[in-house]
Amino acid sequence: MTARIGVLALQGGVSEHLEALSRVGAETLPVRTPADLSGLDGIVLPGGESSVLDKLMRLFEVRDPLITLLRAGLPAYGTCAGLILLADTVLDAAPGQQSLGGLPVTVRRNAFGSQAHSFDTTLEFGGIDHPVAATFIRAPLIVAVSTETAVLASLDDESIVAARHGNLLGTSFHPELTGDDSVHRYFLEMVLAAKNG
Ligand SMILES: NC(=O)CC[C@H](N)C(=O)O
């Protein structure tokens, strides 16, 4: 059995996620309208610019139906800006910027400084049996998590870069730019587990 996983396609790095999800065996769909949300088993919120994504989700009337689906348990994976969209609390948000929320973590936008602080590394990732390739681009950091949130990856003891709570997964980094599909495979497993109850 496979799963139908959408990628929010209003701005940011969409095609790399669609390709990685296809490679691990998901059925994929770019999501631009409220109608595109129907029948999804999961959704990826890509990197890009979280304050722009927030505005575009309102403009395209995707924000409210997406919040309803997330609160009802739709599995979601946010990378970088997408993690910011899922976080309950956002530090250094742009004026007026709001997240969708649901993932009980606090993130700090642009926590590594400017574009010059973009870098590649590999990370131990809970639930994946090899170090995962990770690209960081003007990335947020997870600076606090609720007690029931699982920390899946960190750069050091204080720098959390991947977390999961229930059906919601977020990473500060972009696995879709590395050729390492293991985090997408991990998310597909989450989606299939939720779908099969
Ligand atoms: N690569 C990214 O997604 C960068 C995120 C961006 N700095 C933001 O605040 O939304």
Number of domains comprising the chain: 1
Q: What is the mean pLDDT of the chain?
A: 96
The amino acid present at 86, given as its one-letter code, is L
Q: Is 109 annotated as a binding residue?
A: yes
Instruction: For ligand 1, say whether the CB of 42 is within 6 Å of any of its atoms.
Output: no
C-alpha 188/C-alpha 21 separation (Å) is 8
**pLDDT tens across 16-69, in order?**
999 999 999 999 999 999 999 999 999 999 999 999 999 999 999 999 999 999
Q: Which atom of ligand 1 is nearest to the CA of 136?
A: 1
C-alpha 27/C-alpha 132 separation (Å) is 23
**pLDDT tens across 133-169, in order?**
999 999 999 999 999 999 999 998 779 999 999 999 9
Q: Is 130 in the active site?
A: no
* Residue 54: both structure tokens together: 């927030």
For 35-48, b where at least 16 C-beta lie within 10 A, e where not — what string?
A: ebbeebbbbbbbbb
Query: Which domain does 71 fall in, by range?
Result: 4-195
What CATH number does residue 34 fall under? Answer: 3.40.50.880
C-alpha 138/C-alpha 117 separation (Å) is 7
For ligand 1, atom 3: residue with the closest CA = 47
* Residue 25: both structure tokens together: 């065996």
Q: Is 174 in the active site?
A: yes
Longest CA span, the chain: 44
Residue 6 CA to ligand 1 centre (angstroms)? 20
